[in-house]
Amino acid sequence: MIFLSIPQPQGLKFVQWGAIVAEQLAGYGIQAPANEEAWQEWGASLLHEPKLGVAPSPIGFNDWQDWASSFKATFA
């Protein structure tokens, strides 16, 4: 599993939050998200990295902040 220091999503725009996560995962080929509209697709792309372990799928979450909070909790 990868150690990440993920910020709380509250107070950030999705692209800002995603850029922080992508920066920490740059060694795994993760790119920063392009826009908020594609947050589920970007989040799903993280699931292709086996070292992220049990990261939650964004499918089923109604907004990116709920998913991001769950994603953060996975690595707390």
> pLDDT digits over 13-25, tens only?
999 999 999 998 8
- Whether residue 7 is contained in a domain is answered as no
- Whether residue 41 is contained in a domain is answered as yes
CA separation for the pair 31, 9 (Å, rounded): 18
What's the pTM? 0.88
The amino acid that residue 35 corresponds to is: N
pLDDT tier, 3 (very low <50, low <70, confident <90, very high otherwise): confident
- Whether residue 8 is contained in a domain is answered as no
Q: What is the separation of C-alpha 69 from the centre of its chain, rounded to a whole number of angstroms?
A: 9
Across the chain, mean pLDDT equals 89
Residue with tokens 């499918």: 59
State both tokens at 36. Answer: 């908020």
Structural domain count, the chain: 1
Range of the domain at 36: 14-74
Per residue in 21-67, pLDDT (tens digit) is: 999 888 888 899 999 999 999 999 988 888 777 789 999 999 999 99
CA separation for the pair 72, 9 (Å, rounded): 9
- Whether residue 31 is contained in a domain is answered as yes
- Whether residue 30 is contained in a domain is answered as yes
